[in-house]
Structures are given as structure tokens and as C-alpha cells.
Amino acid sequence: MPARKESAPSPPDGGKHRLERRRGDRGNEDYFSPEWETKTAISCILDITLKPISFRQQLKEILDVLVSISWLRVEKKGAIFVANSRRELVLAVQHGLPAQLQEACAKIPFGRCLCGKAAATGTILFRDCVDHDHDIRFDGMANHGHYNIPLLANDNETIGVIVLYLEHGHPPHPEEANFMEMLGRTVSNILLNRNLQLRAEINRIRLQKAQLDILHKLVAASEFRDNETGEHIKRMSQYSVVIGRRIGLGDDQLELLEQSAPMHDIGKVGIADEILLKPGRLTAEEFTAMQQHTLIGARILSGSHPLIEASRQIALSHHEKWDGSGYPKGLAGEDIPLFGRICALADVFDALTTKRPYKDAWPLEKALSCIKEDAGTHFDPALVDALLDSLPEILEIKALYDEGNEGGDRKKILEQKPVSNEILTWRDSLSVGVDFMDHQHQYLINLINRIHLAIEQLDTREIVDTLLDMNAYAEVHFAEEEELMRRHRYPGLDAHIRLHQGFIRQAEAFLNDLETAPLATTSEVSRYLIDWLVEHIQKHDSRYGRFIAEQAGQ
């Protein structure tokens, strides 16, 4: 729907809009009519939407076109805001705005300042100076004019605002009002279509995640009888994906592997407790009965859906061995389905390296030595090589989902993890003086940079996955940080816990907001995470770091 127009003041008597002239290659002045420039600008904007670049980059290029239209006499400054679900404008892209203004305008409630008023009223607002409607000001801000063009959905709901800066005292050109209306309609349609596309993608991804989560919970419930945990399922399926990616499986196959791997032991629901829960060694007869869980799982997982078929294949074959000595069919080599071979290796690696009621976790070196020895007998040698080549990523998953870890393994893993610097870089001023916590903070920085990269590329699946990883790791980090504070009887523990809980709530809210206002949410996420982490470390975590250091010095 077109935005309503607020009448622009007429140019002063005798005042004419000075059309900008451009010089051609030969030095002569070429005149570009407003009509030609308008058509060219709209054509360029539509062409930009077809470019294979991120949507944020598309918005930036659209803004670059707008501030280059000579007859508008627009200053080389402007911004495009997108609206979130809380009736706030979030700065998506800007051109030429000073850092002070970018900070002040990062998020603006509807009704505040001129852009917020345009959003609240759905009206194109023109000002030729900084007047009483400009709520955001700072010392040294130059006087200027504004066009604020609301971007409206079909139901007149505001989904964004374009802000173009003008010279102070700007005399409106007769074509400006019509152009601003046409511009608003054009960019509104672009924004609306992209929002709808992203919402559909994110809703589909989150529905898949919810279905998979329910599946994992059902599997975990069945495995409670076997002293297994939900974290085992997450680790084992993620290990499988890493191995699969290393050997070159495509995205569709990796997704199918991730979803089907958790079903590997579903057949244990049919094994009697006296066998399944027996603390000692099984007799030959009992072991034969235990082997039936592969066949039971295959019977449970009957059906023709690709996920069911893959799950059935894994349940039936993950105890087969490369040399043919496994069960239930005694398959050998590549006769064993690939997914079954991958899950067999991932399952054993996790069993060896984690603590169970009946055994302690093996040291990593011992577990890897055992797996290397079994390459070519128990395991596909190529898959063992893939696991070893992917060990840093494997250990990162282990650190993220390792319940009951006292911190030692995670500390070593995080110490070896390089800190990326896409948008946020680790610096000495972020150190709290506790090495273990510093390494965890560095890992959080890696996650923030990963989220930023996913947002820049508008990779919806990676955005959702990384936010989920951020939530999972934040809970691990916060729990260990709070336990450290308890051990040292830190007096600010309760307040610190509330800060942690607030972060978790906001991270979960971002996941929900992605489904309603994805463009605004992706613009908010990076800024919030960076600001929160830096402030939290420097203001709050450093305080308990000093407290611990003082205790150690007493």
C-alpha cells in the first residue's frame, strides 16, 4: 500500500531546484532529466535484487543508488531500517552516517524521532531542517533536511523506513513526492517478499528442528534403561555428520545422516532389563539375545520415508564390522551400508571417551589408539582417517555436549581452538585473569563471529543452528562459571546468575523473533551478542576475576 504523504513546503519564490549536471568523458556537460534518472534508479534497484549477493549487501547497494540521484540533491547519507516484532526500527544498512549517529540510531521505537514517527503513522515525512521532531541529536551535528519513507506491507503494517538526508533548507522538486511514493512501493515489495521468504524458510527449519528434537527425546527416553543420555545422542549424531562431511557427502545426505543417526539403538526397547542392565559380562546366550536389538530396531523402523529407511539401515547395520565378524548379518567391507559404518565409528568413539556408570572415560590418546588398531577389522579405514583428520571439530563437539565433564578436557580443547576475528576479536582487555574462563569466552567469540558470517550471507539454516549452539554452549559456560563462583563464595553470585538467565531468555527470544521478523532480528543479533559479551566480561566477569585473584593472594 502506498504511504500517505505529508505536504512538503513549496520552494521559496523564485527558487528553482538546481539539477545536478554530470560531465561526460570528453568534458562536456551531459544533462540527465529527472524522468530518465528515476527510471534508471528503479531499474537499477530491481537489477540489484537479482544479484547473487547477500540481502544486506542488496540493501546497501539500493541505498547507494538512492544517494546518487542527482536531481534529488540528496546528501551522500542515508539509512534503511527494518521493523522488529516489538515496534522498533533496527538499523539494517547505512551510507555515510557518523559512528555517533549509527550508535544512537541502532534501534529506535516507533514514534521516536522523525523515522519513528514515519513508522508509527505510515506517512512520508519531509523536513528541510532539524526541527522539534528530531529527538536524536548530538553536539556538532550539522543542520540538515530529511525524507523519511515508511515501507508498508499489504495490511499497511510498517516493515521498515528509508531515511535520506538533504541539504539544510532543501527546496522540494515538483517530482519528489511522486518519486518517494514510487520508491516506497518498490522497496516495500522487495522487503516484504524477502521477509516472507525468510519466514517460510525459518519456520520450516524450526519445525524440522522441533520434530528432530521430539525424536531425540523419545530415543533418549528409550535409552534411559541403558544408562545412555540425550547428550550421547547429540554427540554421536554430530560426530557422524563431521565424518560424513570429511568424506564428501552432500548437504542433503548430511542432514539425513544427522536426523537418522540417533535411532541406532532404538531396538533396545525390546531387550529384557535383566540383560540390558546387567552390570557384569553377558553370557553367550545373553549376548545372542542382546544382538536382537538390531533386528528389533529394523522392525520398529518399517516404512518408506527416506528418514525411516536411513534410520532402519543404521539400526540394522551399526554393529557390523569391516572384516565381517559383526552382527546381525556378518556383512563385510562396503557391503555394510555407509551410514551404518559411519555410525559404528561415531558410537564407539563416544562410548570410549565418555564416563558411564560402569566405567570411566578413556583418555583421548588411549581411545584413538584403540580405534586406529581396529581400522581394517572393526572400522572402515577411510572413515577412521576422516575422524582423525577432523579431530579438532570432533573435540569441539565433545566439549559442547560433554555432560559430567569436570572441565579438564574442555579446557584443553578450548586452549587449542584458534580465535576467529570476523567481527569481534579477542584482546587482552577481555581477560578476566582466569585461564579457563578466558578460553570459554574466546569460544563464545568464535560463535558470535560464526553467527555474524551466517547473517551476512543470510544463511537461514546456519543462523538457526548457530543460535542453538550459542544457547547450548552458554548454558554449559554459565553453569561452570557459576560453580566456580560458588566454590570461591563470590558475593555477587545471585546477581550474576540473573544476568546469565537474561541472556538465555534473550537468545531464545531471538529464535522466536526470527519467525516473525527475520530481517530485523538478524540485524539485532550480532550487535546484541557483541555488546552483551564485551560488557559482561569487562564489567561483571572481570569483577569476580579480581575477587578470585585477591583470595589466591591471601
Q: Which has more confidence, 291 or 135?
A: 291
User: What's the CA gap between 152 and 388, in Å, rounded?
Assistant: 53
At 230 the pLDDT is: 61
> Looking at this protein, which amino acid is placed at residue 86?
R
Q: Which has more confidence, 275 or 224?
A: 275
Least confident span in 159-173, 214-228, 465-479: 214-228
Q: What is the mean pLDDT of residues 257-271?
A: 88
Task: Please say if the pLDDT value at position 142 is more than 60.
Answer: yes
At 16 the pLDDT is: 31
At 334 the pLDDT is: 96
Q: What is the mean pLDDT of residues 114-140?
A: 87
Please tell me the CATH code under which domain 4-196 is placed.
Answer: 3.30.450.40
User: What's the CA gap between 72 and 166, in Å, rounded?
Assistant: 8
Q: How far is CA 208 from CA 198, 255, 361, in A?
A: 15, 11, 33
> Looking at this protein, which amino acid is placed at residue 538?
Q
Q: How far is CA 457 from CA 66, 82, 452, 453, in A?
A: 23, 17, 9, 6
pTM, to two decimals: 0.64
pLDDT-derived band of residue 149, with 50, 70 and 90 as boundaries? very high
Give CB contacts under 8 A, 24+ apart, made by 508-515. 508/471, 510/467, 511/206, 511/464, 511/467, 511/468, 511/471, 513/84, 513/85, 514/202, 514/206, 514/463, 514/464, 514/467, 515/199, 515/202, 515/203, 515/206
Q: How far is CA 551 from CA 53, 438, 485, 505, 554, in A?
A: 53, 19, 12, 32, 5
**% of the chain beyond a pLDDT of 70:** 86
pLDDT-derived band of residue 512, with 50, 70 and 90 as boundaries? confident
At 220 the pLDDT is: 64
Task: Please say if the pLDDT value at position 17 is more than 80.
Answer: no
- Decide if 131 contacts 114 (C-beta within 8 A): no
DSSP, res 502: H
- DSSP code string of 317-342: HTT--TTS--SSS---GGGS-HHHHH
At 411 the pLDDT is: 46
The β-bridge partners of 5 are 124
Domain spans in the chain, listed from the N-terminal domain onward? 4-196, 230-402, 418-554
At 337 the pLDDT is: 96
pLDDT-derived band of residue 333, with 50, 70 and 90 as boundaries? very high
- Decide if 531 contacts 423 (C-beta within 8 A): no
At 499 the pLDDT is: 92
User: What's the CA gap between 410 and 202, in Å, rounded?
Assistant: 32
Q: Provide the mean pLDDT of the chain.
A: 82
User: What's the CA gap between 73 and 42, in Å, rounded?
Assistant: 17
User: What's the CA gap between 362 and 398, in Å, rounded?
Assistant: 13
Question: What's the distance, CA 280 to chain centroid?
Answer: 45
The β-bridge partners of 386 are none
Task: Please say if the pLDDT value at position 136 is more than 80.
Answer: yes
At 26 the pLDDT is: 34
Instruction: Match 550508535 to its residue by C-alpha cell.
Output: 103
At 497 the pLDDT is: 92
404 by Cβ neighbours in 10 Å (0-12 / 13-18 / 19+) ranks as exposed
At 378 the pLDDT is: 97
Q: What is the pLDDT of residues 161-212, one digit of tens each?
A: 999 998 888 888 888 888 889 889 999 999 888 888 888 888 888 887 777 7
For domain 230-402, give the fold. Hypothetical protein af1432 (1.10.3210)
Number of other residues whose CB lies within 10 A of the CB of residue 240: 27
Q: Which has more confidence, 482 or 3?
A: 482
Q: What is the mean pLDDT of residues 19-48?
A: 63
Q: What is the pLDDT of residues 61-90, one digit of tens each?
A: 888 888 888 887 888 889 999 999 889 999
What superfamily in CATH does domain 418-554 come from? Hemerythrin-like (1.20.120.50)
